[in-house]
């Protein structure tokens, strides 16, 4: 496709930030900035001793971005050896209280809102820190050719050094569709640091790679997507709006993959019309047909080649060919079994289907046209014993290091694996 970098805006459409904040409540995350400050010693022993000298001690001044309240708090060191403030809401005489340090997630001592603690000195270096980050997508029609464009935005909740709150949308990726082609625009590059490892760095302009693969992954909604917008585009019959809205078992949608499918197979929309969106999602997410056919076709081609070689000089080629055919059939059946098991575990909301599969007794299962017989009973028992392995069940056990009073939750984005979390085709780097 032609160069479309100047065609796609890098500023978010009006209403996108409000829409993102409404859909992702975590973007309302606030922060608590802390810094050390010398203060008058107001300890009980000093107040009771009329002869005590006037002295100062180190305290922590904390400022909340939610309520804007600022005050001094007792200074303490947590089990990790880091300095922070002693949370007044946890203080008890004789036992002390929980110490909240940089990076911890706690509640504001004054308003009770959820906050992420950060050292003010560190925040000043950049001017802000990222308290929460989510990825959203918007739709538009651009240019005289009515190109259907999907733009991916990284929406960040930033807390400034002055305890201000900002909601910012960064242009991350864009997919520009003509009637037969698609161009990808990139707004970020890979970055590596010896201390932090791999991360991403956002660029000031679009770049348009010649060869590309989809990296954005799945979406649950697209801002600005309407039937009228689709009808006004160069792909008026793609039914993207219906594909995104059609009810199905899984919440994830793959809009870029769907449009590419419609370009290649215009009759794909008939599956939507006939009420088969789940089939579409499975084909797109797992690439079932291509993957399975490739595996089966490869086995069969190997068998055919081997038979041709044997027939010419081996008198026992028929027996060997039969044995190889049986082995090939077994491998094909194993491929079908593995796919059926993975699909069933995904439908059962397993967080990690590969991990859950290791706990399944495969010998007790039988693959039929109706699915895997005997799996339902095993899944029921597994959910009762290890429910944390499944979405919406028991929470996973949390391991807390001895001496650490509260869980440490790093704030902000910038992690490459987090950026690709919803992409079924991304493989985490070793």
Distance CA 94, CA 89 (A): 15
Residue 105 has pLDDT above 80, yes or no: yes
Q: What percent of the chain has pLDDT over 90?
A: 43
Of 248 and 176, more confident: 176
pLDDT reported for residue 413: 45
Taken as a whole, the chain contains a residue count of 430
pLDDT at 407: 36
* pLDDT per position as a tens digit, 331-340: 667 777 777 7
Strand-pair category, 114-119 with 30-40: parallel
Cβ(32)–Cβ(118) under 8 Å? Answer: yes
Q: Is 84 exposed, middle or buried (0-12, 13-18, 19+ CB in 10 A)?
A: buried
What confidence score (pLDDT) does residue 144 get? Answer: 95
Q: Which domain holds residue 94?
A: 28-47+55-126
Which of 100, 126, 152 is where one domain is finished?
Answer: 126
User: What would the mean pLDDT of 292-320 be, rounded to a whole number?
Assistant: 52
**Domains: count for the chain:** 2
Q: Which of 132, 152, 107, 128 is nearest to 24 (CA)?
A: 132
Q: β-pairing, 83-86 with 75-77?
A: antiparallel
Higher pLDDT among residues 385 and 4, named by residue = 4
Residue 113 lies in a domain: yes
Q: Which of 126, 159, 186 is the last residue of a domain?
A: 126
In a domain, 336, yes or no: yes
Confidence of residue 366 (pLDDT cuts 50, 70, 90): confident
Tokens read off for 93? 């005489």
Position 49 confidence tier, pLDDT thresholds 50, 70, 90? low
- Is 169 inside a domain boundary? no
Q: How far apart are CA 396 and CA 388, in angstroms?
A: 5
Please, which residues bridge with residue 193 across strands? 197
Residue 221 lies in a domain: no
> Per-residue pLDDT for 232 more than 60?
yes
Mean per-residue pLDDT, 56-83 = 92
pLDDT of residue 414 exceeding 70: no
Reported as a single tens digit per residue, the pLDDT across 247-287 is: 776 667 889 988 988 888 877 777 777 767 776 766 666 54
Q: Is residue 243 part of a domain?
A: no
Pairing state of beta strands 128-142 and 99-101? unpaired
CB atoms within 10 A of CB 175: 22
174 within domain boundaries? no
Residue 64 lies in a domain: yes
Task: Return d(Cα 219, Cα 274) in angstroms, integer.
Answer: 23
pLDDT given for residue 338 in this prediction? 77
Residue 274's CB: how many other CB atoms inside 10 A?
Answer: 9
pLDDT at 293: 44
- Domain end, chosen from 67, 97, 126, is at 126
Q: How confident is the model at residue 397 (pLDDT cuts 50, 70, 90)?
A: very low
Domain for residue 351, yes or no?
yes
Beta-ladder partners of 86: 99
Mean pLDDT over the full length of the chain: 80
Q: What is the pLDDT of residue 134?
A: 95
User: Phi/psi of residue 384, each to 5°?
Assistant: -75, -35
């Amino acid at each position: 496709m032609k160069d479309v970098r100047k065609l796609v805006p890098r500023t978010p459409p009006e209403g996108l930030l409000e829409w993102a904040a409404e859909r992702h409540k975590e973007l309302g995350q606030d922060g608590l900035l802390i810094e050390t400050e010398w203060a008058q010693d107001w300890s009980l022993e000093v107040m009771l001793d009329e002869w005590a000298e006037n002295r100062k001690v180190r305290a922590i001044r904390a400022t909340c971005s939610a309520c804007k309240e600022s005050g001094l708090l007792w200074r303490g060191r947590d089990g990790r050896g880091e300095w922070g403030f002693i949370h007044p809401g946890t203080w008890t005489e004789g036992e002390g209280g929980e110490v909240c340090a940089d990076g911890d997630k706690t509640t504001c001592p004054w308003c009770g809102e959820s906050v992420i603690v950060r050292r003010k000195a560190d925040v000043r270096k950049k001017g802000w820190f990222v308290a929460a980050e989510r990825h959203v997508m918007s739709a538009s029609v651009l240019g005289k050719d009515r190109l259907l464009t999907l733009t991916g935005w990284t929406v960040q909740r930033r807390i400034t050094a002055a305890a201000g709150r900002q909601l910012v949308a960064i242009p991350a990726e864009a997919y520009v569709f003509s009637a037969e082609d698609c161009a990808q625009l990139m707004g970020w590059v890979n970055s590596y640091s010896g201390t932090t490892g791999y991360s991403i760095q956002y660029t000031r302009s679009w770049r348009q790679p010649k060869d590309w693969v989809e990296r954005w992954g799945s979406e649950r909604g697209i801002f600005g997507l309407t039937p009228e917008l689709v009808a006004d585009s160069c792909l008026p019959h793609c039914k993207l709006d219906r594909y995104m809205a059609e009810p199905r078992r899984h919440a994830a949608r793959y809009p870029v993959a769907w449009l590419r499918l419609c370009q290649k197979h215009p009759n794909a929309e008939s599956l939507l019309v006939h009420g088969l969106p789940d089939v579409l999602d499975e084909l797109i997410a797992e690439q079932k047909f291509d993957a399975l056919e490739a595996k089966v076709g490869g086995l069969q081609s190997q068998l055919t080649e081997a038979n041709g070689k044997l027939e010419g000089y081996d008198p026992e080629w028929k027996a060997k060919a039969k044995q190889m055919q049986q082995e090939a059939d077994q491998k094909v059946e194993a491929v079908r079994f593995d796919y059926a098991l993975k699909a069933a575990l995904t439908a059962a909301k397993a967080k990690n289907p590969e991990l859950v599969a290791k706990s399944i007794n495969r010998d007790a299962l039988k693959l039929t046209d109706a699915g895997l017989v005997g799996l339902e009973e095993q899944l029921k028992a597994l959910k009762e014993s290890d429910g944390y392995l499944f979405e919406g069940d028991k929470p996973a056990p949390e391991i807390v290091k001895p001496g650490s009073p509260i869980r440490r939750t790093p704030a902000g984005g910038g992690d490459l694996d987090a950026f690709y979390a919803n992409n079924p085709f991304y493989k985490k780097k070793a």
